[in-house]
């Protein structure tokens, strides 16, 4: 995807057992989609930060959705049952979704876990990439790329740095 592209349509299974699509989030002012998983050390390092962002911006009408597109046959830790555990453990329940077919990740052009796609109120892509500048130590973060982009999107302002390369594990594609 490129900055300015419209958000692709999706249909996905949530850890609460319900199906969700674009229209379930139509009332949200902005949507941040984080492609992530259960086993990648980069993703694991970000769970607390993701939960904090979700809590911080909930009142501002931001939807923060985590999507696991990994092939669970390659990494059993990424299966749906383990996703339910991770969602509860890291206070992101019910906003963790399973892209078993991997069609959602493909339609977004996602490659890494974690990798963020932020859409404004018009559902235009305004930011793509990294969450911050220090995946392995939250205390050493000096630049909060996603948080800054969220602030801009919620204020209806163009994001200063719309693309920051994501750092993480590659999505485990089906053979």
Instruction: Render 56-77 in DSSP notation, one character per residue.
Output: HHTTTTEEEEEEE-S-TTT-GG
| Residue 93 confidence class, pLDDT cut points 50, 70, 90 | confident
Q: Does residue 87 surpass a pLDDT of 90?
A: yes
C-alpha–C-alpha distance, residues 127 and 28, integer Å: 17
Mean pLDDT computed over 85-90? 94
Mean pLDDT computed over 76-101? 94
Q: In 3-state terms, what secondary structure has residue 71?
A: coil
| Residue 53 confidence class, pLDDT cut points 50, 70, 90 | very high
Which spans in 90-139 are helix H? 103-108
C-alpha–C-alpha distance, residues 121 and 118, integer Å: 10
C-alpha–C-alpha distance, residues 42 and 36, integer Å: 9
Q: In 3-state terms, what secondary structure has residue 41?
A: helix
C-alpha–C-alpha distance, residues 29 and 63, integer Å: 8
* The predicted structure's pLDDT at residue 151: 97
Q: Does residue 36 surpass a pLDDT of 90?
A: yes
Q: In Å, how far from its chain's centre is CA 21?
A: 15
Q: Using the 8-state DSSP alphabet, how is residue 135 labeled?
A: T
pLDDT per residue over 4-29, tens digit each? 999 999 999 999 999 999 999 999 99
| Residue 131 confidence class, pLDDT cut points 50, 70, 90 | very high
| Residue 150 confidence class, pLDDT cut points 50, 70, 90 | very high
Say which CATH architecture domain 28-170 belongs to: 3-Layer(aba) Sandwich (3.40)
Helix (H) / strand (E) containing 119? strand 115-119
* The predicted structure's pLDDT at residue 29: 96
Average pLDDT value over all residues in the chain: 96
Residues 6 or more apart whose Cβ sits within 8 Å of residue 24 = none
Q: What is the number of H-type helices and E-type strands within the chain?
A: 4, 10
Q: In 3-state terms, what secondary structure has residue 85?
A: helix
Mean pLDDT computed over 104-110? 98
């Amino acid at each position: 995807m490129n900055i300015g592209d419209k958000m692709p349509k999706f249909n996905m299974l949530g850890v609460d057992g319900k199906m969700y699509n674009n229209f379930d989030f139509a009332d949200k002012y902005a949507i941040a989609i984080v492609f992530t998983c259960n086993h990648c050390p980069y993703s694991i390092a970000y769970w607390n930060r993701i939960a904090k962002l979700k809590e911080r911006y909930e009142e501002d009408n931001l939807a923060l959705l985590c999507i696991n597109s990994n092939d669970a046959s390659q990494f059993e830790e990424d299966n749906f049952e383990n996703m339910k555990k991770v969602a509860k453990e890291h206070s992101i329940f019910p906003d963790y979704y399973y892209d078993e077919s991997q069609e959602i990740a493909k339609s977004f052009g996602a490659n890494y876990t974690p990798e963020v796609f932020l859409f404004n109120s018009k559902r235009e892509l305004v930011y793509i990439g990294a969450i911050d500048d220090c995946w392995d130590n939250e205390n050493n973060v000096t630049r909060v790329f996603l948080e800054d982009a969220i602030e801009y999107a919620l204020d209806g302002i163009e994001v200063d740095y719309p693309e920051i390369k994501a750092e993480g594990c590659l999505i485990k594609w089906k053979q």
